[in-house]
Amino acid sequence: MKSESRNAPRTVYTITQVGQAEFTRLLQERLAEFRPIEYPDGISLNFVHTLEPEVAIPLLEQCASRLADRCADLEGFSDDIRASHPGLDFLIRQVGIRTILFARINRETQEETQQ
């Protein structure tokens, strides 16, 4: 237990080497995945900075490739079909936004390695 001046005592935990290795393995696995927007994965993006850029960049590129494939699948729907199915139109827009987000994160990660 740790006590900070005016604060109540609190327990501070540390992650073991085995736990760190498992965290890194799961993060790398999830970062490369593409999950449909129904199951968004913000967690791996929140921790992408914990990976070395030379590890993170290829994983982000894998996900971006899978996302591009999904975009290509969704582009086949006509405007009429999208208009009559608002959920589909929403999904298409969300995938597009996620594509932009991944491209930005990938670009920023690559820029960090060049500095």
Q: What is the CA radius of gyration of the chain?
A: 19
**Is pLDDT at 7 greater than 80 in this prediction?**
no
Task: Convert the pLDDT of each residue in 64-86 to its tens digit.
Answer: 788 778 778 777 888 888 788 77
Report the percent of the chain where pLDDT is more than 70. Answer: 88
**Is pLDDT at 109 greater than 70 in this prediction?**
yes
Task: Convert the pLDDT of each residue in 32-46 to its tens digit.
Answer: 776 655 555 667 777
pLDDT value at residue 17: 94
Confidence (pTM): 0.50
Helix 53-74 vs helix 86-114: crossing angle, to nearest 10: 160
Helix 53-74 vs helix 17-32: crossing angle, to nearest 10: 30
